[in-house]
Amino acid sequence: MEGTELGWWGVLIAVIGGAIRVSTPYLFVSLGETLTEKSGRVNLGLEGVLVMGAMSGYATAVLTGQPWLGVLVAGCAGALLSLVHALVCSLPRVNDIAVGIALFIFGTGLAFFLGKPFINPSAPRLPDLDLGWWSDSPHVQSALQISPLFLFGFALALFLAWALKNMRWGLVLRTVGDSSEAAQALGYNITLVRIAGTVTGGFLAGVGGSYLSLYFPGTWNEGLSSGQGLMAVALVIFARWDPVRCFYASLLFGGATALGPALQSAGVTANYYLYGAAPYFLTLAVLIYSASPQRALEGAPGEVSISR
């Protein structure tokens, strides 16, 4: 077996391949959360949205045989669930972070509740793009089997970074998120803009969920997501609300998540659970590193309570 001959290089290639493979849900959720937070609200319930997206996408693919339709349905389910968050938060005196916790509990519960019949049937997977054709090594080839969703997420990150600075809706979104008084004075409907930001963010998180169930790991069960949605929310702070930095941070987190399985396939089986917890430790570490007690964070939307 070549894997053992490659030794630590094998682990490195597996971590890089894993980073690409695992990072996509982080990327979509963090881009969605960036949009939501740029509008001035925090949606901590994207973990629930992610799981709901994974379930609905998988169920659609099982029932229709169309994985891409599953991706679309997952996005819509995520948008619908986030609409609940958006509407409840539009009521007076409602704390958006607390609503996020409720959505987290409700969304995962609903996904397990409705998704029970779909644990056994297998759904068609999303297709691969083989970008490793130039290499002879099967490890490199398998590491560079990439989902079109990953490339789409990359393009989306570039587009959002540009749009938030140059397009009309991007500027409106940021104005509402930075100062509701200023936006009000300019005549924008703050509630409506925030609802739009939250629902669009939920759509992206739902798409990220469909990647989990339809591409990698490519199954539906109750242990599918273990906090990726939550870590992606923390990652947005680390990325300073910048879509392109969200992309780099997602790769970093994907690599950390891939570390445990990569070590295990290289024969290091001890401390499996500790390596599995690497992404949580990493998230906490980057939060401690990037937070600051004195000043507001650079790039933080003025109306967002999470960075104060």
Candidate residues 73, 144, 230, 262; the one interacting with other proteins per rule CB under 8 A: 230
Burial, 141: exposed, middle or buried (Cβ in 10 Å; 0-12, 13-18, 19+)? middle
The C-alpha atoms of residue 308 and residue 306 are separated, in whole angstroms, by 6
Residue numbers 11-50 binding other proteins by CB under 8 A: 44, 48
Q: Which amino acid is at 73?
A: V
Residue closer to other proteins, measured from CB, 93 or 168: 93
Candidate residues 19, 20, 234, 251; the one interacting with other proteins per rule CB under 8 A: 234
80 binds other proteins (CB under 8 A): no
Residue closer to other proteins, measured from CB, 37 or 172: 37
233 binds other proteins (CB under 8 A): yes
The C-alpha atoms of residue 240 and residue 37 are separated, in whole angstroms, by 11
Residue closer to other proteins, measured from CB, 187 or 293: 293
| Residue 28 to residues 60, 129, 134, 161, 249, Cα–Cα distance (Å) | 20, 19, 29, 14, 12
250 binds other proteins (CB under 8 A): no
Residues in binding contact with other proteins, number by CB under 8 A: 51
Residue numbers 91-130 binding other proteins by CB under 8 A: 91-95, 97-99, 101-103, 105-113, 116
Positions in the binding site for other proteins (CB under 8 A): 44, 48, 84, 88, 91-95, 97-99, 101-103, 105-113, 116, 226-227, 230-231, 233-234, 237, 270-274, 276-277, 280-281, 283-284, 287-288, 291-294, 306-307
